[in-house]
Chains A and B, each alone.
Chain A
Amino acid sequence: MGLAIVAVSFQCNALTGQRSQVLKAGATTQYPETVKKVIDSKCLGCHSPEGKSEKAKEALNWMTLMGLEKSVKVSKLDKIVEVLDKGEMPPKKMLEMHPEAKISAEDSKILRDWAVATSDVLMK
C-alpha cells in the first residue's frame, strides 16, 4: 500500500512537471528511500549517464527512467522484474571482479515489489 501511494505521487509529479526538475538535478531522489538505496548501491555504477557500458545505459538509465513515455516505462519495469527473477543482475562477470556488488534477496525484493507496484499504477 505504501509503495502504491509513493508510485501515485510519482505520477502526480510527472503531471505537474516537477519531474523534470528532479531529472535536471540528476539524482535518484525521485525514488522511495528504500528503493533509492538499492539503486544507488547496486545499479547506478552501470545504469546511469556516468556508466561505462553503452549497452547498459541504453537498456536502462535510472536518471531518465521516470520521464519516459508510460508504456515504455512499463516495459523497462517489466525487464527489471525479469532480470531480478532470473538473477541476471548485477551480471556474473561483474560479480567475479566485485563480489560485494551482489544484490541480496531482500534488496532484490524491495526493487521488484516497487517495480511491480509502479507499473500497476501506470496501467490503471
Chain B
Amino acid sequence: MKKKLYFSLAILLVILVVIQFIPSKLPPNSSVPENIQVQNASKEVMTILKTSCFDCHSNQTDYRWYAHVKPVSWLIARDVSKGREALNFSEWNTYNKRKLIRKLGDIKEQITKKEMPMKIYTLMHPDTKLSPAQMLLITDWTDQETKKIMGQ
C-alpha cells in the first residue's frame, strides 16, 4: 500500500519536473516601466486601480516567482492575456469616447457584482480585495467620468 503511494508521488514529481520544460507564454510587460495615469482619476482611485487591477489590466504585471512555475504559470498567462484584452489601462488614454463609455460601464458592473478582482486573485493577494468604501470610490469615478464624456 505504502509502496503504491510512493510510486504515485514519484510519478507526480516527474510530471511536475517535465512540464517545467514546456514554455508558457506569460504576456510580456512593456520594456520601459510606465507611469500609467488614467485620465481624470483621483489619486485614491489610481491607488486602487494600481493595487487591485493593474496585474491583469495593464502592461505592468507584477509576475511573482510562482508565475513561472507550471502549471500555475499557464493559468496566470491565460488570465492576464484575457484581462488585458478586455481592459488595458496602459492603453486607456488611447480609447475613443465610445469605448471609454463601455469600459466605464463594464468596470462599474464588475465591481458592483463583485466579479472583479477575481476570487482566486484576492485569495492569493488579500490586500487587493476591495472594501465597500473603495468600491464606492471606483463607482463614483465611473459615474462621473461617464457623465462627463456623455456631455451631461
9-residue interface stretch from A33-41, A72-80, A103-111: A72-80
B interface residues (Cβ-Cβ under 8 A, vs A): 97-99, 101-102, 104-106, 146, 149-152
Given contacts A78-B99, A78-B101, A78-B102, contact A123 B146 (CB under 8 A): no
- Give the interface SS of chain A, mostly helix, strand, loop or mixed: helix
Number of contact residues on A: which range applies? 10 to 19
Residue pairs across A and B with CB atoms within 8 Å: the count is 34
**Is A71 an interface residue when CB atoms closer than 8 A count as contact?**
yes
Interface of B (DSSP majority class):
helix
Provide the bound-state CA to CA distance between A77 and B126, in Å: 37
Judge if A70 is at the interface, Cβ distance under 8 Å. yes
CB-nearest residue of chain B to A77: B98
Q: Contact: B98 with A78, CB < 8 Å?
A: yes
CB-contact partner of B105 in A72, A120, A123, under 8 A: A72
Cα distance A71–B100 in the bound complex, in angstroms: 10
